[in-house]
Amino acid sequence: MKRKWLLWIPLGAYVVFLAIASLGLKRDEQQIILSKMIGKPIPGLDLPAASSSNPAFSTKSLADGKVRLVNIFASWCVPCVAEAPQLSQLQQRGVVIEGIAIRDAQPDVDRFLTRHGNPYDRIGLDARSTMQFYLGSSGVPESYVVDGKGVIRYQHWGPIMPQDIEKILSELRAAAS
Amino acid sequence: MIAETGLAALWLAAVLAGLQLVLAWLTVSRGDQNAARLVRPVALAQGALTALAFALLIALFLRSDMSVVLVAANSHSMKPFIYKFAGAWGNHEGSMLLWVTVMSAAGMAIALFERGLDKATHYATLGSQAAISLGFYAFLLFSSNPFARLDPPAADGQGLNPLLQDPGLAFHPPTLYFGYVGLSVAFSFAVGALLTRKVDASFARAMRPWVLIAWIFLTVGITAGSYWAYYELGWGGWWFWDPTENASLMPWLAATALFHSVSVLAARDALRAWTIMLSVVAFAMSMVGTFLVRSGILTSVHAFAVDPTRGGFLLALLGFYIGGALLLFALRIGTVNEGRRFDPVSRETMLVLNNLLLSVILGLVLVGTLYPLLTEMMGVKVSVGPPYFNMIIGPFTLLLMALLVIGPLARWRRDDLKGLLRKIIPAVALAVVVLVAVKVVAGSQIGILPLLGLTAAAGVAIASVMPLVGRNLRRTPLFTWGMVIAHLGCAVSLAGMASDTAFTTEKLVAVRPGAKVDVAGWQVEFRGVLPIAGPNWTAMEATMAVSKGGGAPTIMRPQARFFSNPPTPTTESAQLTAWNGQLYLVLGDELEDGRWQLRLWWKPFVTFIWAGGGLIALGGLLALVGRLGRGWIRGRARARNAPGDEVLA
């Protein structure tokens, strides 16, 4: 065959593909979808009470100068069970925690709180994930540090585990100053 | 014990694959007859062991054995039986096990049934198949063990992705896998033939049924997947150019080109190097597709097993096997004799053009799929969506269809252009009539691509049955029928796509129960919404009474479902199929004031898309049966020592 080099073209093209693909694998995968709402105030929304023990929740009351942790949870959510002890611990250390129960029902939330503790100040029932949408949250559980003006300052993705407590506390302090 | 037995079976199968490779190598390179005798039994044992391992995994899922990581992560005791069953492969590890099971089953089939292939090439093929399997065993055992234990066992499982809890989808992935892995056989044949340097017509005849089988499975898999996406995702579309869809389309395009070129090689002993190249490319596309989807390198709705380390492993396998085969190709193909030459106006030329167009389309899809990855490395995030693909792929598809009008009518070796053009007059005439009629009726509201699509569909429909004209239909070979039906399927499918694109009516409304909505001549009465519960989901179900022209109403019930494990909302659209299209209803959210969002579509002739896909697959099946039948007759003739005439189809 006259043009032998032609036969090497497929292999060459393939090597280029392999190079691109392996570079692509090395790149940092952003698994966590960060909220676009960070640095912005929470939109105003009234949510009915999700449990028989805690009052209803309105985002309008957030701008009262107090820093809060807004926790998205649900009675059907297994990681939320894992998160519960850390929330109780945070509450004992003086953190005000507001709960938002996603696509939930009152008897279920009551049962969840009896079983896993109730660290919440108020709990709003977000039956259609409207609040979740406003917060830019992509899953349950998630937690948001909201400052005294009602502005979202920090998003914690997934359950708060023991090793996350210090980080959460420092974010709360940062939001207070 | 079941899990441990499964793992042991896998390890043993991997060892046997290694043994098969060594034995095949001894046979081919040294002519060792003792080794030769052992290759087939080892291939059979290896296949049996992986089948056992897969059966054991299914057993674990059926028993809901939550002490196995995979079961706990992907199943749930409350899940309906069929999804426990399908759950076995509805995840990364299980589907990779299915992959090696199919691959070693294909190895078994080559060992048992392949008779037409040259002896040495046969052993080389079995060796190559073992080599590929070996890599996938390593992948399973070292990075994706499906039998890993969970200690302590979970109380219950996390459930299967609800989108996958659908009867169609339970069998869609295995069908595609049969196709993907079936192409590994063609790949092994090519590697075998490169090693023994025996690329000729008899090699092509031996390879053709395998390519056809893989291609039929791919066709069915893609058609079913498209229909699933259409009714399950609730977007009313049937193809989204999602990376995963492209991942299945690319091997299909390569396989389509391959079995056309392998036909040229079988009939005329031409296109030797090109056929070998395509065999490698086809399997490469299967693996590239698997890699793209599994590594998470591209964002896709299907990326259910994203893990960069696995991606690295797959990429290494991909580099080793495909790179190795391409290296072998570059080194060896020059020593394979060039095939026969042919005239510019001939069936061969038409098939070469078909191959070129299919390759161009394949290349464009590949570039479009990888492009976001390239630009992201340069710091720009882009998404290449349907507009790119439709605009770029559309014209080439139309060219391919134009070729489909004339190609099958050309004679082998040499044809005269005038006679050929005369034969396509009826097809061209009808196409022109359709072009004018559609343009007059639809006016300026129809886009250029759908208009030409309908035109081409009409032309192809006529042209595809032309090969039957003037023939004794009873004596027409089955594979000619296969070709006719498959090509007709292309026309039907194209007509459906064009019609849906051009004439779909869409309506989005927010109404209270009791309201009536008109869409494309249908009266839809929204009667109300009720909550209902299924085995592992709850849903809001709408009741809609649908009628046309005052006829008796039909009740349609679209749902918004909510699965509890894992918590996921899904849309269950409702369809009403008429002869001339489908009414497609989706229930949306309830608004604050008690109104409900409804989405209504009238999609004229949309069902033609999948009916066409079915015809294409049926055509493939007829061709397969026809070829196997003829091969069998030929084999008997040879056995009687009566060399039969080579009949060229």
B363 CB near a chain A CB, below 8 Å? Answer: no
Which residues, at least 6 apart from B334, have a Cβ–Cβ distance to it below 8 Å?
Answer: A1, A4, A7
* String of DSSP letters for B190-209: HHHHHHHT--SHHHHHHHHH
For A76-106, the pLDDT digits (tens) are 887 888 899 999 999 999 999 999 998 888 8
From the CB of residue B577, how many other CB atoms can be counted at a distance below 10 Å? 12
Q: Which residues of A touch B336 (CB under 8 A)?
A: none
From the CA of B327, how many Å to the nearest CA of chain A? 6
- C-alpha dihedral sign at A95, A96, A100, A101: positive
Q: Which residues of B touch A17 (CB under 8 A)?
A: 288, 370
Burial class (CB in 10 A: 0-12, 13-18, 19+), B272: buried
Q: For residue B540, list its beta bridge partners.
A: B531, B560
From the CA of B330, how many Å to the nearest CA of chain A? 5
3-state helix vs strand vs coil in chain B, percent to 5: 65, 10, 25
DSSP H helix total and E strand total for chain A:
5, 7
Residue B538 three-state SS: strand
- Closest Cα partner for B179 from B138, B224, B145, B143? B224
| Residue position matching structure tokens 């909550």 | B531
pLDDT at residue B205 is higher than 70: yes
- C-alpha dihedral sign at B341, B344, B345, B351: positive
State mean pLDDT over B327-331: 89
Q: Which residues of B touch A1 (CB under 8 A)?
A: 334, 338
Q: For residue B555, list its beta bridge partners.
A: B545
Residues 22-51 of A with CB under 8 A from B: 22-25, 27, 29
B277 CB near a chain A CB, below 8 Å? Answer: yes
State mean pLDDT over B256-265: 92
Label residue B383 by pLDDT band (50, 70, 90). low
Option in A1, A25, A140 nearest B297 (CB):
A25
Sheet holding B505-511, edge to edge: B505-511, B596-604, B581-590, B574-578
Residue B506 three-state SS: strand
Burial class (CB in 10 A: 0-12, 13-18, 19+), B563: buried
pLDDT at residue B491 is higher than 50: yes
pLDDT at residue B314 is higher than 80: yes
pLDDT at residue B630 in the model: 80
pLDDT at residue B643 is higher than 70: no
Question: How many residue contacts between A and B have a Cβ separation below 8 Å?
Answer: 68
Which residues, at least 6 apart from A3, have a Cβ–Cβ distance to it below 8 Å?
Answer: none
Question: CA-to-CA distance for A23 and B302, rounded, in angstroms?
Answer: 22
Structure tokens at B609: 């898309």
Contact status, residue B354 vs residue B260, Cβ threshold 8 Å: yes
pLDDT at residue B279 is higher than 90: yes
Contact status, residue B331 vs residue B156, Cβ threshold 8 Å: no
Burial class (CB in 10 A: 0-12, 13-18, 19+), B543: middle
Option in B377, B567, B590 nearest A24 (CB):
B377
pLDDT at residue B169 in the model: 65
Label residue A23 by pLDDT band (50, 70, 90). confident
Label residue A4 by pLDDT band (50, 70, 90). confident
Option in A8, A25, A78 nearest B330 (CB):
A8
pLDDT at residue A34 in the model: 66
pTM: 0.80
Average predicted confidence (pLDDT) for chain B? 86
pLDDT at residue B647 in the model: 38
Q: Using DSSP bridges, classify how beta strands B568-572 and B559-563 pair: parallel, antiparallel or unpaired.
A: antiparallel
Tell me the percentage of chain B whose pLDDT exceeds 90.
42
For B344-382, the pLDDT digits (tens) are 888 888 999 999 999 999 999 998 888 877 777 776 666
- ipTM for the whole predicted complex goes beyond 0.90: no
For B518-533, the pLDDT digits (tens) are 998 899 999 988 888 8
- Do the Cβ atoms of B330 and A7 come within 8 Å? yes
- Do the Cβ atoms of B370 and A4 come within 8 Å? no
Higher pLDDT, B487 or A8: B487
For B218-241, the pLDDT digits (tens) are 999 999 888 888 887 767 788 888
DSSP assignment, residue B1? -
Higher pLDDT, B581 or B387: B581
Residue B569 three-state SS: strand
pLDDT at residue B633 is higher than 60: yes
- Do the Cβ atoms of A29 and B308 come within 8 Å? yes
From the CA of A23, how many Å to the nearest CA of chain B? 8
Q: At what angle do helices A9-26 and B308-332 cross, to 10 degrees?
A: 170
Q: Which residues of A touch B283 (CB under 8 A)?
A: none
From the CB of residue A68, how many other CB atoms can be counted at a distance below 10 Å? 22
pLDDT at residue B296 in the model: 65
For B102-141, the pLDDT digits (tens) are 999 999 999 998 877 888 999 999 999 999 999 999 999 9
Count of CA atoms in the C-beta half-sphere (13 A) of A54: 28
pLDDT at residue B7 in the model: 94
Q: Which residues of B touch A74 (CB under 8 A)?
A: 567
For B87-106, the pLDDT digits (tens) are 888 788 888 899 999 999 99
B371 CB near a chain A CB, below 8 Å? Answer: no
Least confident range from A166-170, B248-252, B628-632: namely: B628-632
Q: Which residues of A touch B284 (CB under 8 A)?
A: 14
